[in-house]
Chains A and B, each alone.
Chain A
Amino acid sequence: MSTEAVERRLHNALWWAKVQSAGPLEVDPDTPAVAGLTRAVAPDGSSVWLVPTLPSGAGHGVLDELDAPPVAVEQPNETARILAICVACCWTDRSAPAWPGSTGTLAQIRSVYAGMRGRPEQSSDLTLIIGSLRRLHATHWLLWNDKAGEVRLGPRVITWTAADLSTLRDLCRHLPDPPPPILSTQPPAEPVSDTALPTATAPPDATLRSATAPSDTALPSATAPSGDEGEADE
Chain B
Amino acid sequence: MDATLLDAEADAAVLRVYRQVFAVLAREAGAMIVDPDLLDADQAILDAFAEAGSDGLTVEQATLACRAYPHDVIVRRFDVLRQYGAITKLVDRPNELRHRAAFAPYVMLMFLRRMSVQGGQGELHQLLTLEAHSVSDPQATADDGKASIGRLTKVFRLLGNELAILVSTSTTAQLRENAQLAWGNERLIEQAEKVHRLVLDRWPELHRECTSLRMALAAYADAVQLAAGRLVERAGTTRALGLLPIETWLTFSRSSEPDTLAAVLDGLLFDAAAPDFSAQTLVEAVETGRRSGTARMAPPRPTADADAPESAAATDREDLRAEAERVLAGRPSVDIVEVIDGAGDWITARRVLAELTAAHLHDELDYELVWSDGMRIDPTAGTPWATEGVFRRVTR
B35 at interface, CB cutoff 8 A? no
Which of B132-140, B242-250, B255-263, B279-287 faces chain A?
Answer: B279-287
Which listed residue, A87, A118, A139, A176, touches B275 by the CB 8 Å rule? A139
Chain B contacts for A72, CB-based, 8 A? 378-380
Q: Is A12 an interface residue, CB under 8 A from the partner?
A: no
* Choice from B271, B280, B285 contacting A76 with Cβ under 8 Å: B285
Contact A22 B272, beta carbon cutoff 8 Å:
yes
* Cβ distance B284 to chain A, nearest Cβ, rounded Å: 8
> How long is the Cα–Cα vector from A175 to B275 in the complex, in angstroms?
23
B282 contacts A138, C-beta separation under 8 Å: no
Determine if A118 and B297 form an interchain contact, defined as CB atoms under 8 angstroms apart. Answer: no
B291 to chain A, nearest CB (A): 7
Q: Which of B282, B369, B371, B374 contacts A168 (CB 8 A)?
A: B282
Q: Indicate which residue in B282, B284, B371 contacts A87 across the interface (CB closer than 8 Å).
A: B282
Which chain B residue lies CB-closest to A59? B276
B238 proximity list for chain A (CB < 8 A): none
CB nearest neighbor in A for B276 = A60
Report the separation of the CA atoms of residues A198 and B368 in the bound assembly, to the nearest whole angstrom: 30
- A167 B279 Cβ-Cβ under 8 A: yes
B370 and A171 form a contact (CB under 8 A): no
| B289 nearest CB neighbor, chain A only | A81
Within 8 A of B (CB), among A115-170: 115-120, 122-124, 127-128, 131, 138-139, 141, 156, 160, 163-165, 167-168, 170
Does B269 belong to the interface (CB within 8 Å)? yes
Among B283, B295, B379, which residue has its beta carbon within 8 angstroms of that of A118?
B295
Q: In the assembled complex, which residues on chain A have CB atoms less than 8 Å from the CB atom of B292?
A: 118
Q: Are A123 and B286 within 8 A (Cβ)?
A: no
Name the B residues within 8 Å of A71 (CB-CB).
273, 275, 380
Docked pose: A116 CA to B288 CA in angstroms: 10
B296 at the interface (CB under 8 A from A): yes
Is the CB–CB distance between A20 and B295 below 8 Å?
Answer: no
Residue in B280, B295, B301, B396 whose CB lies within 8 Å of A174: B295
Residues in B neighbouring A44, C-beta threshold 8 A: none
A127 to chain B, nearest CB (A): 6
Q: Which residues of B contact A174 (CB under 8 A)?
A: 286, 295-298, 300
| Cβ contact within 8 Å between B295 and A119 | no
Whether B368 and A122, one on each chain, are in contact in the complex, defined by CB atoms closer than 8 angstroms, is: yes
Cβ contact of A80, chosen from B285, B301, B369, cutoff 8 A: B285
Q: A17-B269, A116-B290 are in contact. Are A124 and B275 (CB under 8 A)?
A: no
Q: Could you say which residues of chain A place their CB within 8 Å of the CB of B380?
A: 71-72
Across-interface contacts of B290 in A (CB, < 8 A)? 116-118
Determine whether A50 belongs to the interface, using a CB cutoff of 8 Å to chain B.
Answer: no
Q: How far is the CA of A21 from the CA of B272 in the complex (A)?
A: 5
- Residues in A neighbouring B274, C-beta threshold 8 A: 20, 23, 139
Q: Whole-angstrom distance between the alpha carbons of A171 and B377 in the complex?
A: 27
* Complex contacts, B371 vs chain A, CB 8 Å: 124, 215
Residues of A near B283 (CB, < 8 A) are 84, 167, 170-171
* A187 close to chain B: CB less than 8 A: no
Residues A80 and B374 in contact, CB atoms below 8 Å apart:
no
Question: Which A-chain residue is minimally distant from B301 (CB atoms)?
Answer: A167
Beyond A17-B269, A115-B294, A117-B361, whether A73 also contacts B372 by CB under 8 A is: no
Say yes or no: B295 contacts A116, CB within 8 Å. Answer: yes
Contact check, A117 vs B293: say whether CB atoms are below 8 A apart. yes
Chain A residues contacting B378 (CB-CB under 8 Å) are: 72
B278 interfacial by beta-carbon distance below 8 Å = yes
Give bound CA distance, A104 to B139, whole Å.
Answer: 88
Instruction: Kindly name the residue among A80, A87, A116, A173 whose own CB sees the greatest number of chain B CB atoms within 10 A.
Output: A80
With known contacts A124-B371, A214-B372, A215-B371, A77–B291 Cβ distance under 8 A: no
Docked pose: A126 CA to B42 CA in angstroms: 68
| Cβ-defined partner of B297 (8 Å) among A22, A160, A175 | A175
Cα distance A76–B374 when bound, in Å?
12
When the two chains form their complex, are residues A116 and B286 in contact, meaning their CB atoms are under 8 A apart?
yes
A89 part of interface (Cβ distance < 8 Å): no
Tell me, yes or no, whether B363 is within 8 Å of chain A by CB. Answer: yes
Q: How far is the CB of B389 from chain A (nearest CB, A)?
A: 10
A92 at the interface (CB under 8 A from B): no
A74 at the interface (CB under 8 A from B): yes
Kindly list chain B residues whose C-beta atoms are within 8 Å of the C-beta of A59.
Answer: 276
Inter-chain CA distance A128–B374, complex, in Å, is 7
Q: How many Å lie between the Cα of A96 and that of B50 in the bound state?
A: 93
B272 and A23: CB pair below 8 A? yes
A21 engages B271 (CB within 8 Å): yes
Q: List 21 A-B contacts (CB under 8 A).
A: A17-B269, A21-B270, A22-B272, A23-B273, A59-B276, A70-B275, A70-B276, A71-B380, A73-B379, A83-B277, A117-B293, A119-B293, A139-B275, A163-B279, A164-B278, A167-B279, A171-B282, A171-B297, A174-B296, A215-B371, A216-B372
**12 more CB-based (< 8 A) A-B contacts, given A23-B274, A117-B361:** A70-B275, A74-B379, A78-B285, A80-B281, A80-B282, A81-B285, A117-B289, A117-B290, A141-B275, A167-B301, A171-B283, A216-B370
Give B residues with C-beta under 8 Å from A. Answer: 269-286, 288-298, 300-301, 361, 363, 368-372, 374-375, 377-380, 396
Closest 8 CB pairs of A and B: A118-B293, A174-B297, A80-B285, A60-B276, A72-B379, A164-B279, A170-B300, A119-B363
